[in-house]
A and B are shown apart, each in its own frame.
Chain A
C-alpha cells in the first residue's frame, strides 16, 4: 500500500499559512473584536436590537442609514441589470467591429476610483456640466439620489455586462445552431441555450452592484449629504465626526451591516465559482456575426451597448477636458499648476509629489503582498486540499467586510498596539491589501487551476520532482496571470478611497484622499486635475492589463 509521506501533509499547511495568517490578523481577529466589543457594550444582542429598533437618536440614524443603503442598492442594481444585461448579451453573442476593444474597455470603470466617477458625473450633469448647461433638466442627475444612483449604475453596469458577456462567450456556437435546425424559434433558442448561463452572469453582476451600492461611500458623501448617507457614510461620520457615543454607535452599525450582508455575499460566492471577469480570448472560438434579420433583442442590445460606450467615454472625456478648461471657459493648464501651489499642499497637509509617492508605494506593496500570498495557494498540492477550499471560501470575507468597517475594525484592533502615528501607513497598506486580496486570490487561483493536469503529469514522468514541476511548468505558465493580478491589485490600491480616508494622517495621504480634501477646501480646479491624473494612470494600468492574461470575477 502506498502511504502518504509526512511531507505531503505539510506542504499544503505551509502553503496556506501566509494567506491564513493574513486573513486572521487583518480580517477575522479585528472584526471579531469589533463585534464582541459592540455586544459587550450593548449588554448582548438584545441591546443591539434595542439600539437599532428603539426610539433613541442612534437608532433613528441607523434605520435611516439602512433605508438609504437598501434604496440605493436595490434601485442601482435594478437599473444596472436593465442596462447591462442586454449590452452583455449583445457583446457576448455577436461579432461586430470594435467588439474586442469594447469588451476590454468595460473593465475601465472597475479600475477607476469611485471618487473619480463622482467627479465625472458632476462634470457631465452638474450645474456647470457639459450636458447640464445645454440641457438643464439633466441637472437632476448631477446630485441627490438620482446622482448617487447614476454613479452606482455607471460604475456597475459594465460589471453586469461583463459577467453576462463572459457567461455566454463560453457557449459553443453549434449549440444555438443545433437548437435552430431542430426547429426552435429565436425566443426558444434563447431560452434553451442562452438564458440560464446569462442570467447567472447577470445575477452575479446584480449582487455585486447591490453590495457595492449598499456600501457606497463616496457618492452619497459628496452628492447626497447626510439625507442620503449609507451605512458606510454613517459609520465613518459617527466615528470620525461625532464625539461621545459616536464610536459605539458606529460599531453597532457595523455589526448590523455584517449580519445583513452575510446572505448576499454567500450567494455571490456560490454563483461566482470559477467565473471569469475578463478574458482576452473567446472560450468558444469564433463568435457568430450579427444576424441579418435584426431582432428586437439585437436592437435592444445594440442600443444598450452604444449608450454604455458613449456615456462611459463621455464621463472620462469630461474629466480630462475639465482639467484643461479654465473657469472662464478657455483652454489652459492652469488647473494642473494649482496642483503644485501651496494652497493645494495646505488642503490636506501634503504635497502632490509626496501623495503620488505614497500612492505608488502602497500600490506596489499591496500588489507584492497579495500576489505573494496568492502564489502558494496555487501549489498543486493545495489546489485539491480541504485547506485550500477553506481559504478560497475565506477569501470572500473582505467582500462582506466593507472598506469602512474593515478600517474601523483594523484601527480598533491594531491602533492601540501600534501606538506611534509613524506606523499608521502599515494599517493603510494592510487594509488595501485585504480589500484587494479576494480578487487576487481568485485570479491567481483560477490561473493555476486552469493549467492542464497533463502538463504536470508530463513533467513528473519526465523526471521532475515537486519543486521542479513548480519552477519549470507551474510558475512559467502562471506568469501572465500573476502579472495581471499584480496590476489589478496595483490599480485597486491606487483608487482605494474609503479605508484610506478613514485611516490616514496627512503625511500618509494618497492622491484620491488628496482629491477629496481639495473638494472639501473648494479647490475644484486642482481636484479636477487630480481626477484627470487618476484617469490617465488607470488607463495606463488598463493598457498593461490588455496585454496580460485573465482576471477572475470578484474584488
Chain B
C-alpha cells in the first residue's frame, strides 16, 4: 500500500473516537454473554480472540447495532450509541466474506457509503480513487465483484468499509478466506493503514498469531465471558489458566504437583542421556515451516503418571538428519515452565463480568 495520507471526508472529525462498553449483556437460546465492560482508547486496535462459539462475532454485531443487547451501554466518542440504528452509528464493518454488492461495480461499492451520506460527487470520486490506489485496486473500478480474485475482493471490502471514515471499524475475521501467504502480507498492510489513519478498531480472529500481531490490546473471550485483556505480550507471555495457555498454543500437562505450561519454541531437546528439566520419548518428527516439530511423550519423574503428556517441541528448521529419531528418549531443557491453577469450570477465577481498560 502507498504511504501517503488520504484526504479526509469530514475534516471536522479528526480526533480518534474512544469506545466504552459498560455492563453489556446479551442472550439467545442457551447462550449468554456478559456483562462485559471495557474501554478502548481512540485510534487503538483491540484484538478479540477466542474459540468458535465464544461470542466474538455477536459482540461485534452488537457494537455495529445489528443485534440488540439485553442491557448495557455503548459509548462511541463519548456519546451513547446503544439506541441508534446501524446506519446512524458511523461504524464500519468488514465481514468474514467480502459481501460486496454483486450488482454494483467495484467503484460503486466503495462509493456506496459516501453516496448515502450525500458527500459531493467530486469528493466521492477523489476518495474512491485514493482508496483504490492505496489498496492496489487501480484499474479495476468497473469490474463486478464476481470478476475479482479473493484477495481483491477483501481489499475492496476494506476500502468500502473505510471510505466513509467510520469512527469505529469492526473487522470480523476479515482474512479468513485468504490464502496463508497473502494473509500475512495483508495483515501488515492493514496494520499500517489502521495505525496511519488512527482508526479505532476491534479485530476479531481465532488465529492467535494474527490476533497478537494486529492488536494494541488483546482480549480473550471464552463462552461469552471476558477471560483476559492486556497487551499482546502480557497475554501471550503470562497465561493465567489452563484454557488460556492451551488456546495460546502452550504445551499443557498435568504432573502430580499440578498443571504446567511451556511454549513449544521454548523447549530445547538435549543430547540423549544428558541432563534436562523434563524427559520424554520422541513419538514423531516432521519438518515444518518455519520450524521443525517433534511430538514428544513426557515421562513422569516419579511413579505417578502424567496427564496430557503428549506435547510438541518446535526447533529451527534445518538438517532433518540432525533431528532425534522416533523412539529416542531425550531430555528437555525449559527455561520457563509456568505453574497454572487447577481449572474450576470458569477457567479463570473472578473472570465473570471482567473489566479492563
Task: Give Cα A142–Cα B117 distance, bound, in whole angstroms.
Answer: 68
Q: Please state if A463 and B113 are interface contacts (CB–CB under 8 Å).
A: yes
Contacts A1-B70, A462-B92, A477-B103; A457 near B64 (Cβ below 8 A): yes
Q: Please state if B116 and A463 are interface contacts (CB–CB under 8 Å).
A: yes
Query: Counting CB contacts under 8 A, is A328 at the interface?
Result: no
Q: Which residue in B69, B70, B101 is a CB contact (below 8 Å) of A473? A: B101
Q: Please state if B103 and A460 are interface contacts (CB–CB under 8 Å).
A: no
Task: Give Cα A472–Cα B101 distance, bound, in whole angstroms.
Answer: 9
CB distance from A442 to the nearest CB of B (A): 23
Task: Give Cα A473–Cα B91 distance, bound, in whole angstroms.
Answer: 19
Q: Please state if A463 and B164 are interface contacts (CB–CB under 8 Å).
A: yes
Query: Counting CB contacts under 8 A, is A459 at the interface?
Result: yes
Q: Please state if B71 and A1 are interface contacts (CB–CB under 8 Å).
A: yes
Query: Counting CB contacts under 8 A, is A342 at the interface?
Result: no
Task: Give Cα A455–Cα B92 distance, bound, in whole angstroms.
Answer: 13
Q: Please state if B164 and A460 are interface contacts (CB–CB under 8 Å).
A: no
0 or 1 for each of A460-502: is its CB under 8 Å from B? (1 = yes): 1111110010001100110000000000000000000000000
Query: Counting CB contacts under 8 A, is A452 at the interface?
Result: yes
Q: Please state if B101 and A460 are interface contacts (CB–CB under 8 Å).
A: no
**Chain A residue at smallest Cβ distance from B103:** A476
Q: Which residue in B83, B89, B97, B166 is a CB contact (below 8 Å) of A2? A: B83
Q: Please state if B102 and A460 are interface contacts (CB–CB under 8 Å).
A: no
Q: Please state if A452 and B101 are interface contacts (CB–CB under 8 Å).
A: no
- Most chain B Cβ neighbours within 10 Å, of A452, A462, A468: A462
Per the 8 Å Cβ criterion, residues 1-25 of A in contact with B are 1-2
Q: Please state if B82 and A468 are interface contacts (CB–CB under 8 Å).
A: no
Per the 8 Å Cβ criterion, residues 412-463 of A in contact with B are 452, 454-455, 457-463
Q: Which residue in A454, A461, A468, A472 is a CB contact (below 8 Å) of B91? A: A461
Count of residues in A whose CB is under 8 Å from the partner chain = 19
Provide the residues of chain B in CB contact with A457, threshold 8 Å: 61, 64, 66, 86, 93, 95, 99
CB distance from A85 to the nearest CB of B (A): 35
Chain A-chain B contacts (Cβ-Cβ < 8 Å), number: 78
- Most chain B Cβ neighbours within 10 Å, of A455, A457, A458, A461: A461
Q: Which residue in B85, B90, B112, B160 is a CB contact (below 8 Å) of A465? A: B85
CB distance from B61 to the nearest CB of A (A): 8
- Most chain B Cβ neighbours within 10 Å, of A2, A452, A455, A477: A2
Task: Give Cα A349–Cα B341 distance, bound, in whole angstroms.
Answer: 95
Provide the residues of chain A in CB contact with B102, threshold 8 Å: 477
Q: Please state if A465 and B66 are interface contacts (CB–CB under 8 Å).
A: no
Interface SS of chain A: helix, strand, loop or mixed?
Answer: helix
Per the 8 Å Cβ criterion, residues 84-142 of B in contact with A are 85-93, 95, 97, 99, 101-103, 112-113, 116-117
Query: Counting CB contacts under 8 A, is B239 at the interface?
Result: no
**Chain A residue at smallest Cβ distance from B108:** A472
Query: Counting CB contacts under 8 A, is B68 at the interface?
Result: yes
Q: Which residue in B61, B90, B93, B164 is a CB contact (below 8 Å) of A458? A: B93
Provide the residues of chain A in CB contact with B65, threshold 8 Å: 460-461
Q: Please state if A454 and B99 are interface contacts (CB–CB under 8 Å).
A: yes
Q: Please state if A462 and B95 are interface contacts (CB–CB under 8 Å).
A: no
Q: Which residue in B70, B101, B103, B117 is a CB contact (below 8 Å) of A463? A: B117
Task: Give Cα A455–Cα B61 distance, bound, in whole angstroms.
Answer: 14
Provide the residues of chain A in CB contact with B113, threshold 8 Å: 462-463
**Chain B residue at smallest Cβ distance from A469:** B87
CB distance from B195 to the nearest CB of A (A): 22
CB distance from A464 to the nearest CB of B (A): 5
CB distance from B300 to the nearest CB of A (A): 40
CB distance from A229 to the nearest CB of B (A): 51
0 or 1 for each of B59-84: is its CB under 8 Å from A? (1 = yes): 00100111011110000000000110
Provide the residues of chain A in CB contact with B68, threshold 8 Å: 2
Q: Please state if A454 and B164 are interface contacts (CB–CB under 8 Å).
A: no
CB distance from A447 to the nearest CB of B (A): 13
Task: Give Cα A458–Cα B160 distance, bound, in whole angstroms.
Answer: 9
Provide the residues of chain B in CB contact with A459, threshold 8 Å: 101, 112
Provide the residues of chain B in CB contact with A458, threshold 8 Å: 93, 95, 99, 101, 160
Task: Give Cα A464–Cα B92 distance, bound, in whole angstroms.
Answer: 12
CB distance from B329 to the nearest CB of A (A): 38
Provide the residues of chain A in CB contact with B117, threshold 8 Å: 463
Provide the residues of chain B in CB contact with A472, threshold 8 Å: 101, 112, 116
Task: Give Cα A464–Cα B112 distance, bound, in whole angstroms.
Answer: 9
Provide the residues of chain A in CB contact with B69, threshold 8 Å: 1-2
**Chain A residue at smallest Cβ distance from B95:** A454
Task: Give Cα A17–Cα B142 distance, bound, in whole angstroms.
Answer: 40
Provide the residues of chain B in CB contact with A463, threshold 8 Å: 87-88, 90, 113, 116-117, 164
Task: Give Cα A476–Cα B116 distance, bound, in whole angstroms.
Answer: 16
Q: Please state if B99 and A462 are interface contacts (CB–CB under 8 Å).
A: no
Q: Please state if B97 and A461 are interface contacts (CB–CB under 8 Å).
A: no
Q: Which residue in A1, A455, A468, A477 is a CB contact (below 8 Å) of B116? A: A468
**Chain B residue at smallest Cβ distance from A5:** B85
Task: Give Cα A2–Cα B116 distance, bound, in whole angstroms.
Answer: 25
Q: Please state if A462 and B103 are interface contacts (CB–CB under 8 Å).
A: no
CB distance from B99 to the nearest CB of A (A): 4
Task: Give Cα A464–Cα B90 distance, bound, in whole angstroms.
Answer: 11
Q: Please state if A468 and B87 are interface contacts (CB–CB under 8 Å).
A: yes
Task: Give Cα A477–Cα B70 distance, bound, in whole angstroms.
Answer: 33
Task: Give Cα A477–Cα B145 distance, bound, in whole angstroms.
Answer: 14
**Chain B residue at smallest Cβ distance from A464:** B116
Per the 8 Å Cβ criterion, residues 223-239 of A in contact with B are none
CB distance from A479 to the nearest CB of B (A): 8
Task: Give Cα A468–Cα B113 distance, bound, in whole angstroms.
Answer: 11
Task: Give Cα A457–Cα B90 distance, bound, in whole angstroms.
Answer: 13
Q: Please state if B64 and A455 are interface contacts (CB–CB under 8 Å).
A: no
CB distance from A471 to the nearest CB of B (A): 10
CB distance from B110 to the nearest CB of A (A): 10
**Chain B residue at smallest Cβ distance from A462:** B113
Provide the residues of chain A in CB contact with B85, threshold 8 Å: 460, 465
CB distance from A460 to the nearest CB of B (A): 4
Q: Please state if B160 and A462 are interface contacts (CB–CB under 8 Å).
A: yes
Q: Please state if A465 and B87 are interface contacts (CB–CB under 8 Å).
A: yes
CB distance from B103 to the nearest CB of A (A): 4
Per the 8 Å Cβ criterion, residues 181-200 of B in contact with A are none
Provide the residues of chain B in CB contact with A452, threshold 8 Å: 97, 99
Provide the residues of chain A in CB contact with B89, threshold 8 Å: 461
Provide the residues of chain A in CB contact with B61, threshold 8 Å: 457
Task: Give Cα A473–Cα B108 distance, bound, in whole angstroms.
Answer: 12
CB distance from B75 to the nearest CB of A (A): 15
Task: Give Cα A1–Cα B68 distance, bound, in whole angstroms.
Answer: 8
Task: Give Cα A468–Cα B116 distance, bound, in whole angstroms.
Answer: 8
0 or 1 for each of B145-162: is its CB under 8 Å from A? (1 = yes): 000000000000000110
Provide the residues of chain B in CB contact with A468, threshold 8 Å: 87, 116
CB distance from A343 to the nearest CB of B (A): 53
A-B contacts, 19 of them at CB < 8 A, read: A1-B70, A1-B71, A454-B97, A454-B99, A457-B61, A459-B112, A460-B66, A461-B66, A461-B86, A461-B91, A462-B87, A462-B116, A462-B160, A463-B87, A465-B116, A468-B116, A472-B101, A476-B101, A477-B103
Q: Given A457-B86, A461-B170, 7 more contacts at CB 8 Å?
A: A455-B101, A458-B160, A461-B64, A461-B91, A462-B113, A465-B116, A477-B103
Return the 9 tightest CB-CB contacts between A and B, nearest first.
A462-B113, A460-B86, A454-B99, A461-B93, A2-B68, A476-B103, A463-B116, A458-B99, A454-B95
